[in-house]
Amino acid sequence: MSSTPRTVIAIDGPAASGKSSTAQWVAERLDFRHVDSGSLYRGITAAMLRTPTAPEAWTGSKLVAQGSRIALRPERTSFSVLIDGESTEEELRGTRVTEHVSMVARMPEVRAWVNQRVREAAAEHDVVVDGRDMGTAVFPDASLKVFLIADPWERARRRLTQRLGRRPLDLEIAEETELLVKRDARDAMQTVQAADAVLLDTTYLTQEEQVERIVALARAVTHRPNIT
């Protein structure tokens, strides 16, 4: 592990606030690597779902035991989560994993495991990390902390537009908003805004504007004015 202090930009916020895509764009602009902590919670959930153990019997120690099957493969500006050496993106975003992951993410042993993996990734490279508690539990000394929020209806609309590839109907947005608000409630305990985070409400911002604002903040805190 490198002993050089690395720059960490922490982006937290609720589900579908645009954290992951924003963090990825910011990482590309800064030539940092993006670490998506939610994908590690999803990875351990997916690995467990591949075993015959029923979800009712899952415990923190059984879940953490699956951790050895999971690797973070460094890419140029991100990390891929591998299970048993294979790429898993579709499985991680699937409904089975989404249904079970909140319960998994509430287990302290699992949280400790994820936090350790994220810290290891950050020791090797400058990173943009996204999640729920990156600026509080994992990187209280991050160079920059951003907490992203957006109106639930707008978050639902964006998520559906991405998923369906068309303009969603109001009825569809209403159903999705209900699901999102329920998910917010399930994840509420883990979702913590650091006292020194910059709060960014993206309801009326485009993706480009969000990225631009975070890159401007990053430029200021990292003293790298040449970031384009």
The least CB distance from residue 65 to ligand DC, in Å, is 19
Q: Which of 37, 66, 77, 202 binds ligand DC (CB under 6 A)?
A: 37
Cα separations (Å) of 87 from 22, 50, 104, 109?
A: 22, 14, 21, 25
Q: Does 142 bind ligand DC (CB under 6 A)?
A: no
The least CB distance from residue 111 to ligand DC, in Å, is 7
Q: Which residue, 15 or 48, is less far from ligand DC as judged by CB?
A: 15
| Residue from 117, 148, 112 nearest 130 by CA | 148
Site for ligand DC in 59-88 (CB under 6 A): none
Number of residues that bind ligand DC (CB under 6 A): 14
Q: Does 28 bind ligand DC (CB under 6 A)?
A: no
Cα separations (Å) of 17 from 24, 72, 132, 142?
A: 14, 24, 11, 20
Instruction: Give the E-state strand segments of 64-120 in sequence order.
Output: 70-74, 79-83, 86-87
Q: Does 42 bind ligand DC (CB under 6 A)?
A: yes
DSSP secondary structure, 120-162, as one string: HHHHHS-EEEEESSIIIII-TT-SEEEEEE--HHHHHHHHHHH
Q: Which of 18, 43, 67, 131 binds ligand DC (CB under 6 A)?
A: 131
Site for ligand DC in 184-203 (CB under 6 A): 187, 190
Residues that bind ligand DC (CB under 6 A): 15, 37-38, 41-42, 101-102, 105, 131-134, 187, 190
